[in-house]
Structure 1
């Protein structure tokens, strides 16, 4: 049985937040529901490109720009100039996945909990507060205060510095294979939350642990139950 780490470091977008409501918002704006996933992928793509060139972009700026492109290039989409901001407002007020509250409650029994997001720490704070679990987390970190976005090594090293721990004392928990790979390459332990049942990409360094949900991760780590 894998040992429970001193610090569990959570990704935020999609790992903790349930982004499915955005599909309905895209439809309401006259765009395909599937466009929500494509939009988020484009935001990450642009952020990663800027990271490679040594820049640290603002997530919200990239997100708004990508939304405006989708609205402008989708036939039949609303032409209201405030539509992108309306969708972004929904994005900043998403709810937690159903497994998060019981999962983080269990994991907190043996580890310090911290978030590290490519988005803002304020969004993470708000998300956890709405879910009633903010007090379980010691810090909500953002790459906006780090040298670069994840999956750059510097982002994970920043998290280790902020917790006062070595990188190998942190376990990164994420749904994104690219995040798992970046953390592993930086020396962190990793746990992939695979809610979809998809295979892990063979091009990336495999996670130490794979679990269907956060409650399952706690069980794999041998965290005592209630």
Structure 2
């Protein structure tokens, strides 16, 4: 895919793809004595959200995140207070955008691409995390999996976007830094673009769908889509 068409819709994952979760590191350094526990927490959040969907169950992403925090506190034998949980939720709502995001989104808007987001997080009252990060203005719509009560990479999450926009899944290109997300999107009939954020990589294994586009950052993604380079 090297140029825009009237039917092309870029569907952006939010957490870690657009918003920089490393700003949670000081919190984990304070509570756990190790900022690297952030990665352990995020992995558990993803694992148990997907477990809920595979089990036919649903709990909001934020509640799973709070539960994962308490679970890790028990594992690491540290104390997590209600105030800590409230602080963690507030920090999640105020994550900043990566520096490359706004300029690239502005270029994609100007080139005529339709831009939307799809997140595992539940819908929030204004101001939303995207509003807090100054990004909402770039997007036509923002979708939450809450509407189908299944977490990505369940196929119905991507089909939700296609249905709401009255397009085919083949008209969607998911942009994410998580290969589990690009795999799910491709399995649902979408195209995908993989963004190489830190701590994320392609999974080179037999029969694992590889992303249609692999780029090091948002600037390169805009170049690839607009200029075909």
TM-score when normalising by structure 2: 0.90
Q: CA RMSD in A?
A: 2.1
Q: Mapping of 1:46-195 within 5 angstroms?
A: 46-75=48-77, 77-109=78-110, 110-122=112-124, 126-195=128-197
Shift of 1:89: 1.5
Shift of 1:133: 2.9
Shift of 1:125: 6.3
| Structure 1: gaps spanning 5 or more residues | none
Shift of the 140–125 alpha-carbon distance from structure 1 to 2, 3 Å rule, reads: farther
SS at match of 1:68: helix
Shift of 1:120: 2.0
The answer to which of 112-121 and 83-92 deviates more is 83-92
| Aligned-partner Cα distance in 2 for 1:195–1:171 | 18
SS at match of 1:173: strand
Shift of the 106–221 alpha-carbon distance from structure 1 to 2, 3 Å rule, reads: same
| Aligned-partner Cα distance in 1 for 2:136–2:227 | 20
Tell whether the 8 Å contact from 1:125 to 1:134 is kept in structure 2 after alignment: no
Match for residue 16 of structure 1? 18
| Aligned-partner Cα distance in 2 for 1:89–1:12 | 16
| Aligned-partner Cα distance in 1 for 2:81–2:201 | 40
Tell whether the 8 Å contact from 1:173 to 1:191 is kept in structure 2 after alignment: yes
Shift of 1:144: 0.5
| Structure 2: gaps spanning 5 or more residues | none
SS at match of 1:95: coil
Match for residue 213 of structure 2? 209
Tell whether the 8 Å contact from 2:122 to 2:144 is kept in structure 1 after alignment: yes
Tell whether the 8 Å contact from 2:117 to 2:142 is kept in structure 1 after alignment: yes
